[in-house]
Structure 1
Amino acid sequence: MKPAPARGIPGFDDLSLDWLRARGSVKWHRPKRDVLPAWVADMDFPTPPPVVAALYEAVDRHDLGYPDWPDGSPLRSVFAKRMAERHGWAASADRVREQTDLIQCLQLVLHLATSDADAVAVQVPNYPPFLATLQTMNRRIVPIPMEDTDDGWRMDIAALDTAVKRSGCKALVLVNPHNPTGRVLTQDELVEIAAIARRHDLLVISDEIHAELTYAPHRHIPFASLSDDAAHRTVTLTSATKAFNLAAIRCAVTHYGPDRLLALRDAQPPDLYGTVSPLGVIATQAAWEHGDAWHRDLLTVLDRNRRRVHEVVSSRLPLVRHHLPEATYLAWLDTRPLGLGEPPVEKVLRDGRVLLDGGAPFGPDADGFLRLNFATSQDLLDEILARVTAALGGREG
């Protein structure tokens, strides 16, 4: 295991509780003052300086009028360039469309490509708003389990093939890197999934929002980059919001592989699904074009923090199963061996005064699991871990 960097990384470890609690965002605003939040997937770190500078510049020049984007926002070409440079994927700027966030992207694609009661395969556990979207839209969820093995979390690809054939699935919602387990699918696994998609003529809706939060030696591979067939059946969803901590800018992109689906989308009234704010586009463009130095520091901090979580859980809560996440800033903890007799989210909140996510909203068999957001300063993370382990009856640290 690599040694952790020295304590105190400017801009990431010098966070004050007063500064965090003064925020209006839901993560810090909703919990009571004596509760430390490590639940919703926002990072505690300040906004990347290049993004702040770009937004101030736009406001200083009073540039808040209607944007002149006759052929779409600048993000279309910026996205295509970033995919080529970071992943070797020749994404087409002409196939990119902007939406306000990733959930809206998913809902629009499902609306256009599937119908009431259609079967849609999805990994479980999964991001609760995705599962809630499928239920609300009356799409028949076909759960594909992520399996806890001695070597980490694995997607049951054989189960995918069987379930798709049996249920007559129309689409697969593929979350890679995976939330909440932090798993990054390998090239071989993705090729197997692509073969299943081709065999059963599946639309693949690939959520890749955590792609830029992947830790070496793991490598994110865009699903659409696998082959011509994969490219033509894949809709890729992503945003700068996770990797650059910009959730409130309300800006995401969808890359449409299928010609028919892109034509169907463009045949809709142009403002039916809303339009992105120019400030959201400015922030995203600044992050993707000028934020890489900040992002390298971020990954250093998150790598240190994920190892700290794993170290503490392994030593103080040896019965709790946890695998070092390969991506994301989320730890997925299986507390079922503790036999708590109550939901662990409730116990940790009551006895430890820490708010975490977990349990039934993440899907069938997620009861007994906790999702811990470790994207915070070293001191705050240590306090969160101390409270969580004490609440769960852990060994003295």
Structure 2
Amino acid sequence: MNAWSDLPFDDLDESDLLHRDGEKWAAVEAGVLSSWVADMDFPTAPAVREALRRRIEGDLGYPAWFDQSGGGPLGGVFAERMRRRFGAQVDETHVRLFTDINQAMLATLQVATRPGDAVLLHTPACPPFVDVIEKTGRRPLTVPLQASGTGWEFDPALMERAAASHDPGRCRVLFLVNPHNPTGRVFRRDELEFLAELALRHDMLVISDEVHADLTYPGHRHIPFVSLSDEIAARTVTLTSGSKAFNLSGVRCAVAHVGPKAVRGALDERHGLLFGQVGVLGVEALKAAWTQGDDWLDKVTRVLDRNRRRVAERLPDGLRYRMPEATFLAWLDCRGLCLPDPDPMPYFRDEAKVLLFSGPAFGAAGNGFVRLNFATSGPLLDEKLTRMDVTSRSRH
């Protein structure tokens, strides 16, 4: 029995992980431990597995819910979850389904903005989001989060200047990631209220990615942006899925709660094959996760809470770390190692045999950083931190 046996999910077998064919582990060479892409190593929630088994043994034909004007098969489930977990009242008929958050973001930008419009967002920014903005012909307008004490903050004055720096009406969208990836910040009510006022002053649509909301740690509270006021709800598109909290990235099902009536109408006019269609297995998996998976999620969150603290206790020599308030991601400042390359990822991959996510991939604000995924067993996390520490000490 190992020293971690007081919590579940600490008996992961490294050899089993190495034989997985998902992106996280298939990308590594023999002897390398993977901590890069944002998938957890933990087994799927039993309720989800059972729901998928029932569906596979049942009807896999065309579903009857391709017309989502009434909220589709997950409208009521999403509305009830928002009420129960976050105290937010939302209209279930405003829910539309997409294969993932990036697709929902792309569709929203396509129908609500024009090429050349600017999208205001914080950096470091998750690479797929910037990719969507740029490939739709829109312009990312970035404002950095800044280290402050033990956390990360944004400068309201910088946000205001950025929003006002373009021709009137051209900064069309505020894209908010809360909880934030990769820093793990959970924005406070006063911060969200400032952003709401900013959106109103500059007549901006708000796209709020809240996919990590279920992974908020004790002492912090996730506040859905849509809950701030009726006026804000009418201009906010909330995006979420089970891809992070329930490790369902591969089943491809995301929810968009589309507050603006004009955006809903424009999306509905294009419903069907143009923006893709969600499969029945994805819907069944997410429904089961949101209605029957909270006991499993509570256990996972306990492990993650312990692991984020473990990273702080065993932080490799020469690195700095501000403990995340949500997510299973550690944003590690490696600038103290004085590496010649602004990207520390190759150094840890080649020298420590630990694959992390490149910091510079999140933009210039990520130079000198890496992102470590700590959603794994205690023994495996310790092994990764030990390897990184030995390698870091060799620099001194």
Same fold (TM > 0.5):
yes
Task: Place the TM-score, normalised by the shorter chain, in its bin.
Answer: over 0.9
State which drifts further: 155-164 or 302-311. Answer: 155-164
Percent of pairs with identical residues? 48
Corresponding residue number in structure 1 for 2:91: 92
Q: CA–CA distance in 1 between the matches of 2:15 and 2:337?
A: 35
Taking the aligned partners of 1:10 and 1:378, their CA distance within structure 2 comes to 9
SS in 1 for 2:38: coil
Residues 317-363 of structure 1 show CA distances to partners (whole Å, capped at 9, x for unaligned) of 2x422101000000001111221112310110110011000222101
2:8–2:299 CA contact under 8 A, matched in 1? no
Q: Distance in 2 between matches of 1:11 and 1:250?
A: 27
SS of residue paired to 1:270: coil
Partner SS for 2:256: strand
Alignment correspondent of 1:111 = 110
Pair 1:12 & 2:14 matched = no
Aligned to 2:280: 278
Any idea what SS the aligned residue of 1:170 has?
strand
CA contact (8 A) 2:333 2:370 kept: yes
Listed as ranges, the matches of 1:83-232 within 5 Å are 83-167=82-166, 168-232=170-234
Measure, in 1, the Cα distance between the counterparts of 2:306 and 2:394: 22
Letter in 1 for 2:297: H
Residue 268 (structure 1) aligned to one of 270, 281, 284:
270
Residue 68 (structure 1) shift: 2.3
Question: What is the match of residue 346 of structure 1?
Answer: 346
Contact 2:97–2:256, Cα closer than 8 Å, also in 1: yes
1:287-298 matches, within 5 Å, as 287-298=289-300
Offset at 1:11? 4.8
Q: Structure 1 residues 11, 19: closer, same or farther in 2, change over 3 A?
A: farther
For 1:71-122, what per-residue CA distance to the aligned partner results, in whole angstroms no more than 9, with x for missing partners? 5532111001100111111111100000000110111111111111111111
Does the C-alpha gap of structure 1 residues 134 and 76 become closer, same or farther in structure 2, counting only changes over 3 Å?
same
- Letter paired with 1:336: R
Q: Which amino acid aligns with 1:30?
A: A
Q: CA deviation at 1:365?
A: 2.7
Q: 1:243 is paired with a residue of what secondary structure?
A: coil
Query: For residues 154 and 299 of structure 1, what CA distance do their matches in structure 2 show?
Result: 24
Candidates 42, 65, 68, aligned match of 2:39: 42
Change (3 A) 1:151 1:22: closer
Q: CA deviation at 1:295?
A: 0.4
2:249 corresponding residue in structure 1: 247
Residues 11 and 46, structure 1, Cα contact 8 Å, conserved in 2: no
Residue 384 of structure 1 is matched in structure 2 by 384
Q: Which runs of 5+ in 2 are unaligned?
A: none
* Matched residue, 2:61: 65
Counterpart code for 2:224? P
Output the TM-score relative to the length of structure 1.
Answer: 0.94
Give, in angstroms, the shift of residue 395 of structure 1: 10
8 Å contact from structure 2 (residues 337, 395) kept in 1: no
Contact 1:11–1:45 under 8 Å retained in 2: no
How big is the shift at 1:138? Answer: 2.4
CA distance in 1, matches of 2:293, 2:148: 36
Matched residues in 2 for 1:189 and 1:149: separation?
A: 14
Bigger Cα displacement from structure 2, 387-396 vs 114-123: 387-396
- 1:32 aligns to what SS in structure 2? coil
Read off the aligned partner of 1:85 and give its amino acid letter.
R
CA distance in 2, matches of 1:6, 1:353: 24
Q: Secondary structure at the match of 1:34?
A: coil
CA contact (8 A) 2:104 2:256 kept: yes
Comparing 101-110 with 62-71, greater Cα deviation is found at 62-71
1:9 CA displacement: 5.1
Distance 1:155 1:12 in 2: 36
Which of 48, 51, 59 aligns to 1:51? It is 48
Structure 1 residue 269 displacement after superposition: 4.4
Cα distance per residue 1:264-321 (max 9 Å; x no partner) = 11111422111111111000000000001000000000000000001111xx42x422
Q: Distance in 2 between matches of 1:215 and 1:246?
A: 20
Compute the displacement of 1:137 (Å).
2.0
Write the distance in 1 (CA, Å) between the matches of 2:173 and 2:31: 44
SS at match of 2:153: strand
**What is the CA distance between 1:141 and its match in structure 2?**
1.4
User: CA contact under 8 A between 1:214 and 1:327: conserved in structure 2?
Assistant: yes
Give yes or no for contact 1:389–1:395 (8 Å, CA) kept in 2.
no
Superposed CA offset, 1:183-240 (max 9, x none)? 0000111011101111111111000000001001100000010011110111000001
Q: Distance in 1 between matches of 2:390 and 2:130?
A: 32
Q: Write the distance in 1 (CA, Å) between the matches of 2:257 and 2:90.
A: 8
**Alignment partners' CA distance in 2, 1:72 and 1:228:** 19
For these two proteins, the number of residue pairs brought into alignment is 388
TM-score of the aligned structures, taking structure 2 as reference length: 0.95
After the TM superposition, which parts of structure 1 deviate over 3 Å for at least 4 consecutive aligned residues?
70-73
Distance 1:353 1:165, change over 3 A: same
Match of 1:334?
333
Distance 1:6 1:304 in 2: 13
Partner of 2:368: 368
Given the superposition, is the C-alpha separation of residues 349 and 386 from structure 1 closer, same or farther in structure 2, using an over 3 Å criterion? same
Segment drifting more, 267-276 vs 382-391: 267-276
Letter in 2 for 1:65: G
- Secondary structure of 2:72's aligned partner: coil
1:238 aligns with 2:240: yes
